[in-house]
Amino acid sequence: MGFLATPARRHGLLFLCLWHSTWASSVEECVDGSVELLQRHLRVLEEDETDRRLQAALPMFWLHIPKCGTTFVNTLINMHHFCPSAGENFDLSLLAPHECFNPVFAMCQSFCNPNFLECYEHPSAMHSPVGNATEYARRKGKLVGFFRQPEQRVLSAYYDGHGWLEDFSNPDSSKFLFRCNLSYTGYPLQDLLEAFKGTMAAQIASPHDIIPFVHQPPRDLALGHQAVQRLREGFAFVGLTEEWDLSICLFHAMFGGPCHSSEFHNARPGQHAKDADGLYDTSILQGYQDEIDGLVYAEAVRLFRQNLAVHNVSVDSCQRCFAEAEATRVHT
């Protein structure tokens, strides 16, 4: 059964046996040799398709949605030819151990190839939107990003101590711009919910910067539907924060490149208690749901599951990637 399950495949192998009859000493040897030959051929075809898919997605633009996974930068920088000056197994957290990442992002233009990865214009723009219609048309099919369940995302922001509700446009607030101050706790939850509502959708479909949050224009369900359309039509890759390991494996299945340990290391772990599944207790929200970003997240989940099936990615199939990553881990 298996590879030889269909008559067409068996007949094809017999044809190959006749073709190789000058060196095959038996039908069994011929079948074994032909299977190996076909498997090699299929691997070449898969590699060609992976390369074609990668070329179509270049230069990639990472839509870095706040609280969805800064660690993804390690995946992008470690891809072959993306950032050749960054070194092997690049790890953002080793360069910025105190989570002050903006100066590291500022290095992108100096060590990354713009033909492979589009850098942000300024380190303060690390959460840049997709942009207006013209910018979206240029980036369509080259967008990559991670998405997170909206209520989990806002709770992560609520607990992380960053100055999300500060006015970053104020020159006196530059210390907040570089995200090095983690002393901002105790924001009124309702204010943060209102500030974050619909901002995944806004980052995808609105031409306005989402930061500072305090200057956001109104968001509505229509914006959510526009974001869903762009997500469906314009993204080359969609990952889920809640399915991090599987998402990283999927990315490599789609675009190639080796798996590194730094891709599975949480560069910005939250300190607040979570349950066994790594989720925050949402009872504090008293039933609140972000309906706008809920539309976006539902589509992201659908696309993620669809791509898992299309590219035959599962926990079992990812074991090779996980082992490859473990082999690059620096043990101290």
Residues 158, 304: one domain? yes
- Say if 158 falls within a structural domain: yes
**277 pLDDT tier (thresholds 50, 70, 90):** confident
Q: What are phi and psi of 239, to 5 degrees?
A: -115, 165
Residues 98, 247: one domain? yes
Q: For the residues of 25-54, what is the DSSP string, one character each?
A: SSHHHHHHHHHHHHHHHHHHHHHHHHHHHH
Residues 41, 73: one domain? no
Average pLDDT in the 245-274 region?
89
Tens of pLDDT, residues 27-59: 666 656 655 655 554 555 567 899 999 999 999
Residues 57 and 140 sit within 8 Å (Cβ to Cβ): no
Q: Which residue has the tokens 């500072």?
A: 212
Q: For the residues of 8-22, what is the DSSP string, one character each?
A: HHHHHHHHHHHHTTT
Residues 133, 263: one domain? yes
Residues 11, 64: one domain? no
- Say if 280 falls within a structural domain: yes
Tens of pLDDT, residues 101-121: 776 777 888 889 999 999 987
Residues 47, 170: one domain? no
Average pLDDT in the 1-27 region?
53
Per-residue model confidence (pLDDT) at position 273: 73
- Say if 88 falls within a structural domain: yes
Domain end residue (candidates: 51, 66, 86) = 51
To the nearest 10°, report the CA torsion of 255, 245, 162, 78: -40
Tens of pLDDT, residues 59-71: 999 999 999 999 9
- Say if 172 falls within a structural domain: yes
Residues 289 and 150 sit within 8 Å (Cβ to Cβ): yes
Tally the domains of the chain: 2
Residues 251 and 311 sit within 8 Å (Cβ to Cβ): no
Is pLDDT at 167 greater than 80 in this prediction?
Answer: no
Residues 17, 68: one domain? no
Tens of pLDDT, residues 76-86: 999 999 999 88
Residues 268, 135: one domain? yes
Tell whether omega for the bond before 212 is within 30 degrees of 0, i.e. cis.
Answer: yes
Q: Which residue has the tokens 């473990």?
A: 326
Residues 307, 233: one domain? yes
Spell out the residues 6+ positions from residue 83 whose beta carbon is closer than 8 angstroms to its own: 76, 77, 90, 108, 111, 112, 113, 116, 117
pTM greater than 0.75 (yes/no): yes
- Say if 332 falls within a structural domain: no
Residue that wins the pLDDT comparison between 241 and 89: 241
Distance CA(34)–CA(46), nearest Å, equals 18
What is the CATH classification number for the domain harbouring 85?
A: 3.40.50
Residues 250 and 311 sit within 8 Å (Cβ to Cβ): yes
Residues 62, 43: one domain? no
Structural domain that includes position 28: 2-51
Distance CA(155)–CA(189), nearest Å, equals 9
Is pLDDT at 161 greater than 90 in this prediction?
Answer: no
Average pLDDT value over all residues in the chain: 84
Per-residue model confidence (pLDDT) at position 331: 53
Is pLDDT at 4 greater than 50 in this prediction?
Answer: no
Residues 255, 155: one domain? yes
Tens of pLDDT, residues 197-252: 999 999 999 988 887 787 788 999 999 999 999 999 999 999 999 999 999 999 99
Residues 10, 115: one domain? no
